[in-house]
Chain A
Amino acid sequence: AQSVTQLGSHVSVSEGALVLLRCNYSSSVPPYLFWYVQYPNQGLQLLLKYTSAATLVKGINGFEAEFKKSETSFHLTKPSAHMSDAAEYFCAVSDLGLTGANSKLTFGKGITLSVRP
């Protein structure tokens, strides 16, 4: 079964600083990988996805992630943090179910991003 590791539960950066949120995955098959963001009292919003095309994936709000197979990583970055980026971020891998369906997502524990003025 696939799994996702997000090291650390909280990251704090200054406004304008680089944002780096780490994600490592475990998968026995080529994975589909996703980053979602959750704002307080809201559901999850898709930031970006990797589907075996380009290894550098650009998403919404200036975020991007790079798929590195040799490192089994899919870290999320943003060159310059904005106050509005404060939220919880989840990395997820598409998981094969018992029936072979591959739309089930396995999520990491999530990382809370704080942005200091």
Chain B
Amino acid sequence: KAGVTQTPRYLIKTRGQQVTLSCSPISGHRSVSWYQQTPGQGLQFLFEYFSETQRNKGNFPGRFSGRQFSNSRSEMNVSTLELGDSALYLCASSLRGPYSGANVLTFGAGSRLTVL
């Protein structure tokens, strides 16, 4: 069964631009989470979506947004890019909802964003 698919894998943008990243979860998984990974800050939670609704949100500015579609696919958007937004953005899906406890996340390979 196919894993979590993230597109694009690599992209380069300039400051001030915006970017949209896509995530297709494992078939049957309804919860999608996004994490940012940087050398300095490590892995940080961005947000989680379940049944097209944002259920949980990390401590990121409003420039970071996301959404989930009826087929559970998710996108995240970063507007007005800053140099510090350069990171690996990881998407993870899980079978159960956010209140189910001990939810096992399956991660995609990530989208590596470089902001120049």
Seen from chain A, the residues whose Cβ lies within 8 Å of a Cβ on chain B are: 32, 34, 36, 41-46, 49, 51, 90, 92, 94-95, 97-110
Contacts and interface: CB of A to CB of B under 8 A. Distances in A.
Interface size class of B (residues with CB under 8 A): 20 to 34
Given A101-B99, A103-B33, A45 B45 contact: no
A51 B99 contact: no
Interface of B: 4, 31, 33, 35, 42-43, 45, 48, 55-58, 90, 92, 94, 96-110
A98 B90 contact: no
A43 B4 contact: yes
Contact of A105 (B45, B97, B100, B108): B45
A90 B43 contact: yes
Q: Most chain-B CB neighbours within 10 Å: which of A34, A92, A99, A101?
A: A101
A45 B107 contact: yes
A104 B101 contact: no
B90 A51 contact: no
Contacts of B43: 90, 92, 105, 107, 110
